[in-house]
Amino acid sequence: MKKALKVTAFILGALLILFGLGISYIQFAPAPTYSVGEIPDMQVEAGPERVAEGSRIASMLCNDCHLGDDGKLSGKWMQDVPPAFGQFYSANITQHPEQGIGSWTDGELYYFLRTGLRKDGSLAGIMPQFSRVSDEELMSIIAFLRSEETKVQPSGNIPPASQFAFLGKLLQKFVFGPSPFPAQPVSRPDTLNQVALGRYLADDLYSCYDCHSASFTSNNKQEPTKSKGFYGGGNELLDMDGRPIYSSNLTPDDETGIGRYSEKAFIQALKYGQRPDGSPIRYPMRPHTAMTDEEVKAIFAYLRSIPPIHNPVVITP
């Protein structure tokens, strides 16, 4: 009997030591780095149409996170990231040669946008990765970043380093990782196929599912449809005052989703931030006025095609 107790105590002690070592590794080991593949040798032609389209896309993808107090994309504190993940600051992506991306080549920017990997092999932790976005739209973004627009002119702002909390470090080491660099050119879907275009816009370009599924921790960036609670909402975000606010259910459920929305009502909500009952849609969701009606209609058609989820999300006052 005593021998059995000793063996049990030994096993429990060993498990506690292993558990402690695991906790210590997560807490104190440096962030992982990755092997950087072949950087494309490319020069983006920055014509006025491409710059204009890049500016339009960036107004919906880049401004919210990167627009600093100086009116440029110089980085800022991302106050709507839940503190359970840590405290995060976006990077300076102006044309400053040292503090920004002025010294990056077009190929390095293209590779980074695809994979999330910087030149030194470090991963931009919460930066979206655009592995399935079309070549043309990525080149439009790069053309905008190289343009003469005020927002991308050099700024010497140096945002503080992001601080990962324990959960953030856990995800950083075991869940988050770079996206694969596409082996073939990536084209935009046929615009005549409304559902396919909407899927591309919602899942790939604008990553709507990221906020509107159950949790950032269970999202699947390579196969978004496998994300837990895909478009069912309930993901905890933060409002302007740092209080919890939960993402809306965008599935076609009649009672808890957008099943009773008309196409016109959905355009009003997505482009102008107003629900059918007249109430405003609150931060961190912003009006996407730069979207075309055709894009919004395609996203609506796609969302109507996905399986409904009955998930009554609490709308805080």
Give the pLDDT of residue 275.
Answer: 93
pLDDT for residue 125 is more than 80: no
What's the angle, vertex CA 95, arms to CA 203 and CA 130, rounded to 5? Answer: 15
What is the residue extent of each domain of the chain? 48-174, 194-305
Confidence band for 120, pLDDT divided at 50, 70 and 90: very high
Provide the b/e sequence for 210-235 (b: ≥16 CB within 10 Å). Answer: bbbbbebeebebeebeebebbbbbbb
Give the side-chain half-sphere CA count within 13 A for 162: 27
The predicted pLDDT at position 51 comes to 98
The 10 Å CB-count burial string (b at 16+, else e) for 252-282 is bbeebbbeebeeebbbbbbbebeeeeeeebe
Confidence of residue 3 (pLDDT cuts 50, 70, 90): low
Among 311, 290, 270, 283, smallest CA distance to 144 is for 290
User: Binning pLDDT at 50, 70 and 90, where does residue 271 land?
Assistant: very high
Task: Say if CB 135 and CB 187 are below 8 A apart.
Answer: yes
Token pair recorded at residue 268: 């009003």
Length of the chain equals 317
Question: What average pLDDT does the segment 104-127 reach?
Answer: 94
179-212: pLDDT as tens digits: 999 999 999 998 899 999 999 999 999 999 999 9
* 141 CB burial (10 A radius; 0-12, 13-18, 19+): buried
Residues 6+ apart with CB under 8 A from 305: 195, 252
Task: Evaluate whether 48-174 and 194-305 have a shared fold.
Answer: yes
Q: Which fold has domain 48-174?
A: Cytochrome Bc1 Complex; Chain D, domain 2 (1.10.760)
What is the per-residue pLDDT for 2?
Answer: 64
More confident residue, 167 or 272: 272
Spell out the CATH class of 194-305.
mainly alpha
Lowest average pLDDT, out of 85-89, 205-209, 292-296, goes to 85-89
